[in-house]
Structure 1
Amino acid sequence: MNKVKILYVEDEQSLALIVADSLEDHGFDVVHRENGQEALSYFKKESADVIVLDVMMPLMDGFTAAAEIRKTNPHVPILFLSALTQTEDVVKGFHMGANDYIRKPFKIEELIVRIEALSRRVKRPVHASYEIGDYVLDTNKNILTHASAEEKLSYREVELIRRLFENKDNVVPREDIIKAYWGDDTYFTGRSLDVFISRIRKYFAQDGRIKITNVRGIGYIMNID
């Protein structure tokens, strides 16, 4: 069985050595880089299964590196490790394309569990495109097309649309959505998710057969008449 390759980006050498050794002892293949610029250069040439990024680094910070990586690969799981613990920092991390966010200091056991959860997404096959009513969702380019019009979507919008469509006619629990795409419901309230869903509904406004309904207190369901 091939090992899961982790691109670990951390400028604090002593911490990087401890974390990298611990991850390797757990069976991961770890590639360490010291800043976002080095990480981006490596990823464009070699790729990785999971990226673990510090935020505050020289030359290129983690937020910027994540945004650049998302331009070329919308699917690779990204986990931030950061001493920035304010709500706005965590929210910014997710907006920049993160799948998870761990605050420093952290326990290595927690990091391992979260990496394992992210790596399972790597092993699950994902279709490149979906025909949703009169629309086509391109998950490689993060584009939703209707007739000749194209809408550029965020990584999270693509993943949420895909999840709703793959489970169409069935309710997707709101708690599952929040934990899957925002990691910690402390920083992403149900009301914010409602606003997010409303934006997705507008993307499908040209096809009246597509409905995304809020099942109060439970979750959301996509139906296509």
Structure 2
Amino acid sequence: MTNSSYLSKLNILYVEDDAETRFYTLEMFENFFSNITIGIDGQDGLDKFKKFTYDVIFTDINMPIMDGLEMIKNIRLLNNSVPIIIFSAHDEIEYFTKSIYYGIDGYLLKPFHMLELDNIIGKLVNKKQTALEVNNKNIKKLIEGFYWDITDEKLYQYEKEIVLTKNEILLFRLLTSLEGRIYSAVDIEIVIFDDDTSDTFRVRNLLSRLKKKLQFNLIESIYGHGYRLR
């Protein structure tokens, strides 16, 4: 299954007018996502999009008040890059064809199964990861989908930014300055804290808080030597 740690952090907007379809689709979604907002028609979905930032939109096409096609058209006027995946019935091919014009990232024909959903989500994640690598030459690729943007000094997991503190930014700046170099706790302490106090517990505490924030141990401890990025 597609990287669950990454997917659980995404904010999802799911727009579907049929209550029964929503129920069964949500059961599948909950295997991937933790943060799901429901829109009950195109107008409701558009209203919610205007009030909050979503990472991915899943939408039906044929809905009352405002259909999915009109919603996509309006969303693209506000944001031309948010990934949109549509659910289409076999008799809605005309709608589906029109939706391509407004820019969609995938579609599933109803009824669909868990494996199909996993497949299209995996393709979406890979597409975002590839785009990030191609479009930004100053990216240092780490493991588990993590990237360090050297120019902007920002950390991402896939395309989602991880907000860092000042000291965490200084830590990544140091650890990415020389490929593969191991830095001792004293090295890190001098660069980050820049004072006359000698207490490497501050470094261990910084690393511990960072590990908790990332929900992953991105910085490897080399016994007797120090630390380096994985």
TM-score, normalising length from structure 2? 0.50
- Number of aligned residues: 128
User: In structure 1, what is the Cα distance between the partners aligned to 2:117 and 2:33?
Assistant: 14
Question: Considering only aligned residues, what root-mean-square deviation do their CA atoms show, in Å?
Answer: 2.3
Contact 1:10 1:54 in 2 (8 A): yes
User: In structure 2, what is the Cα distance between the partners aligned to 1:93 and 1:115?
Assistant: 19
Q: Percent identity?
A: 34
Contact 1:11 1:57 in 2 (8 A): yes
Q: How far 1:93 sits from its partner (Å)?
A: 1.9
For the pair 1:113 / 2:122, whether they are aligned, the reply is no
What does residue 95 of structure 2 align with? 89
User: In structure 1, what is the Cα distance between the partners aligned to 2:53 and 2:126?
Assistant: 17
TM alignment of 1:74-85, pairs within 5 A: 74-85=80-91
Q: Higher relative contact order by CA 8 Å / sep ≥ 6: 1 or 2?
A: 1
For the pair 1:19 / 2:25, whether they are aligned, the reply is yes
Counterpart pick for 2:14 among 5, 8, 14: 8
4+ residue runs over 2 A deviation: 25-29, 84-90, 119-128
Q: How far 1:111 sits from its partner (Å)?
A: 1.8
TM alignment of 1:32-181, pairs within 5 A: 32-85=38-91, 87-122=93-128, 124-125=131-132
Q: Give unpaired runs (5+ residues) of structure 2.
A: 137-230
Deviations 1:5-44 (A, max 9, x none): 2211111111112211221123442211111111111111
Equivalent AA in structure 2 for residue 70 of structure 1: R
Deviations 1:95-128 (A, max 9, x none): 1322212111211321232123224445554869
Change (3 A) 1:87 1:27: closer
Change (3 A) 1:85 1:102: farther
Contact 1:50 1:115 in 2 (8 A): no
Equivalent AA in structure 2 for residue 41 of structure 1: D
Q: Secondary structure at the match of 2:96?
A: helix
Equivalent AA in structure 1 for residue 10 of structure 2: V
Change (3 A) 1:86 1:32: closer
Change (3 A) 1:35 1:118: same
Q: Give unpaired runs (5+ residues) of structure 1.
A: 129-225
Question: Higher Cα Rg: structure 1 or 2?
Answer: 2
User: In structure 2, what is the Cα distance between the partners aligned to 1:101 and 1:43?
Assistant: 20
User: In structure 2, what is the Cα distance between the partners aligned to 1:6 and 1:116?
Assistant: 15
Q: Secondary structure at the match of 1:98?
A: coil
Contact 1:85 1:103 in 2 (8 A): no
Change (3 A) 1:67 1:33: same
User: In structure 1, what is the Cα distance between the partners aligned to 2:92 and 2:48?
Assistant: 30
TM-score, normalising length from structure 1? 0.51
